[in-house]
Amino acid sequence: MISDLMNDEDLLYKLQLKLDTHHPTVKNWRNFASKWGMSYDELCFLEHRPQQSPTLEFLLRNSEKTVEQLIDLCKLYKRIDVLKVLQLWVEKDWPKRWHQTY
């Protein structure tokens, strides 16, 4: 679940660096959030909150979705850079968390 990655500050920082950016030809948090049903008004609201990363807020609002669904969005929007960060986390860091908690 996305909620599992919300406790990893390093991962969140990397995702924010990649998805908070605004570039006319690169899909970012707005595309991801819109695809998962966030309204235009919500997108505008998040975009104009300087104290909070819009990527972080998007992930918080979708914390019940799976990391695999987030990976699928990366594939859909051809965000291979974000995909690689998530896959590395799933393969290396996420299993460690299970061993620490159980």
Does residue 94 surpass a pLDDT of 80? no
Residue 96 has a pLDDT of 60
Say which residue, 22 or 13, is predicted with more confidence: 13
Tens-digit pLDDT profile for residues 43-88: 998 888 777 899 999 999 999 999 999 999 999 999 999 999 999 9
Strands (E) across the chain are located at none
> What average pLDDT is seen over the chain?
88
Q: What percent of the chain has pLDDT over 90?
A: 64
Residue 49's contacts (CB-CB under 8 Å, 6 or more residues apart) are 57
CA distance 88 to 5: 12
Residue 92 has a pLDDT of 84
Tokens of 68: 């695999």
CA distance 22 to 58: 16
